[in-house]
Amino acid sequence: MKPVRLDKFLSDSGIGTRSQVKLLLKKGSVSVNGEIIRQPELKIAPESDTVSFQGAILSHSEFYYYMLNKPAGYVSATDDNTAPTVLSLLKNAPGRGLFPVGRLDKDTEGLLLITNDGPLAHRLLSPKNHVDKTYLVHALGLITADDLIRLESGIDIGEKAPTLPAGAKLLSVKTNNGHAVSLVELTIHEGKFHQVKRMFQAIGKPVLSLKRLSMGTLLLDETLAPGEFRMLTDEELANLRA
Percent of the chain having pLDDT more than 90?
72
From CA 228, how far away is CA 71, in angstroms rounded?
9
143 and 103: one domain? no
Written in H, E and C, the secondary structure of 36-81 is ECCCCCCEECCCCCCEEECCEEECCCCCCEEEEEECCCCECCCCCC
State the average pLDDT for the chain.
92
Number of structural domains (the chain) is 3
- What is the radius of gyration, based on Cα positions, of the chain? 22
Q: What is the largest CA-CA distance in the chain?
A: 68
pLDDT of residue 33: 92
Q: Taking residues 15-20, report their average pLDDT.
A: 82
Q: Is 230 helix (H, G, I), strand (E, B) or coil?
A: strand
Residue 130 has pLDDT above 80, yes or no: yes
Q: What is the CATH number of the domain that holds 40?
A: 3.10.290.10
201 and 139: one domain? yes
Residue 149 has pLDDT above 90, yes or no: yes
Q: What is the tens place of the pLDDT at every residue in 66-85?
A: 999 999 999 999 998 889 99
Residue 231 has pLDDT above 80, yes or no: yes
When pLDDT is cut at 50, 70 and 90, the band that residue 122 belongs to is very high
- With beta carbons less than 8 A apart as the criterion, state whether 203 and 82 touch: no
User: What is the pTM (predicted TM-score) of this model?
Assistant: 0.78
As a dihedral over the C-alpha atoms of residue 228, residue 234, residue 237, residue 238, rounded to 10 degrees, the angle is: -160
Q: What is the CATH number of the domain that holds 152?
A: 3.30.70.1560
178 and 116: one domain? no
Q: What is the CATH number of the domain that holds 223?
A: 3.30.70.580
- The more confidently predicted of residues 19 and 204 is 204
DSSP state of 236: H
- Domain with 24 in it: 4-58
Is 79 marked active-site? Answer: no
pLDDT of residue 46: 80
Q: Is 139 helix (H, G, I), strand (E, B) or coil?
A: strand
122 and 221: one domain? yes
19 and 32: one domain? yes
Q: Taking residues 76-95, report their average pLDDT.
A: 89
Catalytic residue (one of 49, 105, 107, 132): 105
- What are the start-end ranges of the E strands in the chain? 4-5, 30-32, 35-36, 43-44, 51-53, 56-58, 65-70, 99-100, 109-115, 133-140, 167-176, 179-188, 207-215, 218-219, 229-231
69 and 35: one domain? no
When pLDDT is cut at 50, 70 and 90, the band that residue 1 belongs to is low
Q: What is the tens place of the pLDDT at every residue in 176-224?
A: 899 999 999 999 999 899 999 999 999 999 999 999 999 999 999 999 9
52 and 160: one domain? no
From CA 149, how far away is CA 166, in angstroms rounded?
9
Q: Taking residues 55-72, report their average pLDDT.
A: 86
From CA 242, how far away is CA 236, in angstroms rounded?
10
144 and 210: one domain? yes
